[in-house]
Amino acid sequence: MKKIAIYPGSFDPITNGHIDLIKRASKLFDAVIIGITQNSKKTAFLNIDERLKSTKSVVQEIDNIKVMSFDTLLVDFAKSQNAQIILRGLRAVSDFEYEFQLSGMNKHLNPNIETLFMTPAEQYANISSSLVREILSLGGDISSFVPINVENLLKAKMY
């Protein structure tokens, strides 16, 4: 049986930290599906098409990666993709409590799906999409946090 993992998130925008985790996960699993959420309760900076396109562009060289959007329960999306694992990134201890709650709820909803926590490489531990957007909005340099094509998309959208 193929080991398929789902890496869910808003990816608004995808950061170098996300990419680090994706590259490392691609070596552990037969397939990794990046599941971009279409959370209607959350206002996204980039629309779903921009997030899909920018994410696909930065992972296109990795053979076993697939990028998709979803607007269902994560466990239902995972089941529809025959995924057995949900990948979640933990940047800091403060992320753990929330992620632990999600993991427990997902396990209750579908006991056949496991959650695997991965930590980023040290140089990416402080990067988050929301901080990238905030730095950009205040005129700061985001070039070390996102790939160049994502930086260009964000600047075009912002200005």
Tell me which residues are annotated as active site: 18, 42, 91, 129
CB 50 within 8 A of CB 12: no
Q: Is 30 helix (H, G, I), strand (E, B) or coil?
A: coil
147 and 15 Cβ atoms separated by less than 8 Å: no
Rounded to whole angstroms, the Cα distance separating 122 from 91 reads 9
**Integer Cα distance of 97 and 77 in angstroms:** 23
